[in-house]
Structure 1
């Protein structure tokens, strides 16, 4: 199989093999087709990663070439048809085909289509759409040529190995597979299929601890052999027993020691694994502190609210007089509603919306929330991190700034943090701040052990107007996790 450089524009990889002396009957033939369909739906991801083509080798002449050509340059008779089509005509023809129309999008917008020819320029297939009628497999087929074109070489190898290992059992010489050399335009050559054995070492202690049993090495090797994994055990100089596992090409699902452990558990029998009672659970320190703060604030006459963790971009920034620095908020892709465009970076929008929707409620309104916000964080593997925060608001005839200040003092007293002068890192202190959501000169930062953990102050009239709140309000927000 010779691969032309143009294939890199569409489906750059191809792997091949030949099965000689295959004996088909109706059951085996149907199984052969069903296996390809199952692989196409699963590991091939509906032919986007890999497409399988199987052909009657006796109707073809090697060597083969894998090319990528303009659709108008490709002409052949497709499978189950009687006349020749150009590739672009074929795309229109199959738009009404219930089975094949769902695969057309993979290549129809490409300027070139992948195609495989034999030595006589007979088309074998137009992957991933359809094979040619010339090389169609029948019950009389004896020699089968298998080609898998792909965008993912690893998946292509697995698919080819799966097909040849399963159906080489029906060859005249059982389990004999004829390899095919694939030559790329840069001169690199590869022999497929690659049926090499993968060796893995798994500590016996890991298997026993993960399953919750105490099996001997001999028992483990016996169980693994039942699962088609050849295994032996060895003992190292420090008396650590290791299970040496040989993974055959039929077990592409075995990638990690945990897969070996799972096979041992399956062979041993899940019902035979002793049941264990879990140790009594203890609350996480963060949750325990959050509950403590909730109770304390509730006893100070505040009512807890639970607001949505998602909000609109305007509520999170513009309505709070804040600027979006593009490096803080976690934005939702394709939001279904303008009300849920991003993950909140503050508890303030939800609490102010609550007051705005209940502005006719008798005053004063005293509410609080303990909940998570999310911020972008490059140090995390998911790119963002959650942060537990506390927020409380007072709304009445006056701003109630002294009440919010008193609430801050009470929370710190419960935490066990004394009020200290600025610069003293043994407790907490406050200093003036310049946050746009508060009135200038009527706000402060909360400093705990040298770090700013939050702010409080009188909410700016513009912010109140944005949320349709007619009465003055004071607000506090601090990060609970900073207490640890």
Structure 2
């Protein structure tokens, strides 16, 4: 959840609703509300970045009240300016999009809203700028065509808030934003967004002082960079819809033969029978379409199948069940009639959960901090970790970032440490959770692992062995052995298999320097990972 503040007067004016109607409607469009004088504090879920701007909230409310339905659209002109993305950024931060928003008028409230939208958008949808970053520039200062390229640490420009040029290496060490977001680049080459006169920004760190926005700014240049093209396009669509609703003229900028933002809706098919079965309501086709249009989507029906159109400023449609949720919201949860359950059941905690909880307690008491990473992952992390486990790939992934299912926990924890090199050491993290491996009747099996990593200047195999012993004893395992092994991800002679009754149930070792280099880690690491399924339930 993320909090934003929106003027109550603005929403009342935009929707034409009474104050009571407004406060009752906001939770129904997935924006929890708390009054704070003339400002409303809204709690927005991370999957709805389109609600992070005041016009985005107003758009959803207009659909709820039936004042405007269907997909919101705006006129999109083509700019004469072009953007060139050079090959030098492909391994750093490969995607860049840009557009102009012209004819704006700023006051104190609109400037505050712009800063809030930009900040919250890159915090949530942008994953703290690692996945997507946004730059907003005074377009009056921009000259000629644009280029997105990578340069070395000795390149100089004047960052926002400074009055003289400095090398990028100094900016990263001394500028507030350089220190805060250094983890996004990990000391690699540095991407620059430039025009014909010089630097506009260094994504995802800081803008140039030359293009700073002021109250006198009328035209904006929006730049969006990141590691996923579709995520960048979603962010640019959100910004363009916000400024278009405020009266701006939007101009798309061509990059590599592709105009951005791309606004053509995505299509997803949905069975009406599936909708009725899941929701327990016999929706007619026209009723289901009406519900979707209230949610600012669109649809047509043919032979019991809904062809649903989703706008490009929405990033939360991963499965047909997401569309069913929109129909439920459009129908209104208060309109569903509750039913008494046909039977009474009493739940209890299963032995596997109790075992995982004991593992968590043991590792936490050993000085490790728990991490929670996703089962969905990018297989690149496994390659960087020199893992011998073949990760299960998803046939139709929504994005490359989540194109595989993790087969072990160590790559995820090393990725976490890689993102926290700017924080103090020692760092000790662990995770107990699910992994997916090949095998079984269905071709894949879900297993449970526990993994711990210590990263600091004095990290040693002795430290890891002590934590492993504490974990196993807490789980009722007193008799185990360590047998030497030869995995590429650990140092030769400083690794072992964890054996119980002659069966390997895990591995322990000092992480190989090549793996440390792959993850940008400057400190030694020791780690172990065990398969909880192979251990007895204590």
Aligned to 1:278: 341
Pair 1:106 & 2:165 matched: no
Partner of 1:179: 252
Report whether the alignment pairs 1:210 with 2:278: yes
Matched, 1:91 2:172: yes
1:15-94 to 2 correspondence within 5 Å? 15-73=97-155, 75-94=156-175
Structure 1 residues 133, 268: CA separation in 2 closer, same or farther (over 3 Å shift)?
same
Check 1:375–1:256 CA distance in 2 against 1; reply closer, same or farther (3 A cut).
closer
Counterpart contact for 1:331–1:341, Cα < 8 Å: no
Q: Which residue does the alignment assign to 1:125?
A: 201
Deviation at 1:342, TM superposition (A): 9.5
Per-residue deviation at 1:107? 2.1
CA shift at 1:165, angstroms?
Answer: 1.1
Looking at structure 2, the residues matched to 36 and 225 of structure 1 have their Cα atoms a distance apart, in angstroms, of: 28
Q: In structure 1, which of residues 94, 100, 116 is the aligned counterpart of residue 193 of structure 2? A: 116
1:26 positional shift: 1.8
Give how far 1:33 is off. Answer: 1.4
SS at match of 1:48: coil
Q: Distance in 1 between matches of 2:104 and 2:90?
A: 33
Secondary structure class of the residue paired with 2:209: coil
On the 8 A contact 1:310/1:341 being kept in 2, the answer is no
Q: Aligned ranges for residues 187-198 of structure 1 at < 5 Å? A: 189-198=257-266
| Residue 331 of structure 1, CA deviation | 7.6
Whole-angstrom distance in 1 between the partners of 2:260 and 2:337: 45
Q: Is the 8 A contact 2:436 2:444 kept in 1?
A: no
Structure 2 CA distance, aligned partners of 1:225 and 1:67?
Answer: 42
The equivalent residue for 2:294 is: 226
Query: Distance in 1 between the 2:107 and 2:445 partners?
Result: 52
Residue 55 of structure 1: how far off its partner (Å): 0.8
Select the residue among 322, 328, 332 that pairs with 1:259.
322
CA contact 1:78–1:84 (8 Å) conserved in 2:
yes
Shift of residue 215 of structure 1? Answer: 2.2
CA distance in 2, matches of 1:44, 1:259: 21
Indicate conservation of the 8 Å contact 1:213/1:274, yes or no. Answer: no
**Separation in 2, partners of 1:137, 1:307:** 52
Instruction: Tell me the residue number matched to 2:522.
Output: none
Q: Given that residues 171 and 178 in structure 2 are in contact (C-alpha distance below 8 angstroms), is that contact kept between their aligned partners in structure 1?
A: no
SS in 1 for 2:275: helix
Mapped to 1, the partners of 2:431 and 2:286 lie a distance apart of 58
Partner residue, 1:296:
none
Instruction: Give the conservation status (yes or no) of the 8 Å contact 2:254–2:260.
Output: yes
* Aligned match of 1:143: 219
Q: Of the candidates 175, 193, 199, which is equivalent to residue 267 of structure 2?
A: 199
Distance 1:37 1:382, change over 3 A: farther
- Going from structure 1 to structure 2, the CA distance change for 1:275 and 1:12 (only over 3 Å counts) comes to same
Pairwise CA distance, 1:13: 0.9
Larger Rg: 1
Shift of residue 72, structure 1, vs aligned partner: 0.3
CA 1:70/1:221 → structure 2, altered by over 3 Å: closer, same or farther? same
Counterpart Cα distance in 1 of 2:164 and 2:85: 28
SS in 2 for 1:224: helix
- Give per-residue Cα distances to partners, 1:204-235, cap 9 Å, x unaligned: 2111111111222222222221111123333x
Q: Could you give the per-residue CA deviations for residues 324-359 of structure 1, whole angstroms, max 9, x where no partner exists? A: xx99xx987579xxxx9999xxxxxxxxxxxxxxxx
Partner SS for 1:201: strand
| Post-superposition CA distance 1:285-320 (Å, at most 9, x none) | xx9xx9xxxxxxxxxxxxxxx9998699xxxxxxxx
Q: Secondary structure at the match of 2:103?
A: coil
Is the 1:233–1:242 Cα contact (8 Å) retained in structure 2?
yes
Secondary structure in 2 matching 1:11: coil
SS at match of 1:9: coil
Q: Which structure 1 residue ranges, 5 or more long, are not aligned?
A: 184-188, 291-305, 313-325, 344-373, 387-436, 438-458, 461-484
> Cα deviation per residue 1:26-81 (whole Å; 9 max; x = unaligned)?
211211111111111111100111111111111111211111011102x2211122
Tell me what 2:84 maps to: 2
* Conserved? CA contact 2:95–2:228, under 8 Å: yes
- Quick one: structure 1 residues 309 and 260, their matched pair in 2 at CA, closer, same or farther if it must change by over 3 Å? same
Secondary structure in structure 2 of the residue aligned to 1:71: coil
Structure 2 CA distance for partners of 1:260 and 1:140, relative to 1, 3 Å: same
Question: TM-score, normalization: structure 2?
Answer: 0.51
Cα offset for 1:127? Answer: 0.9
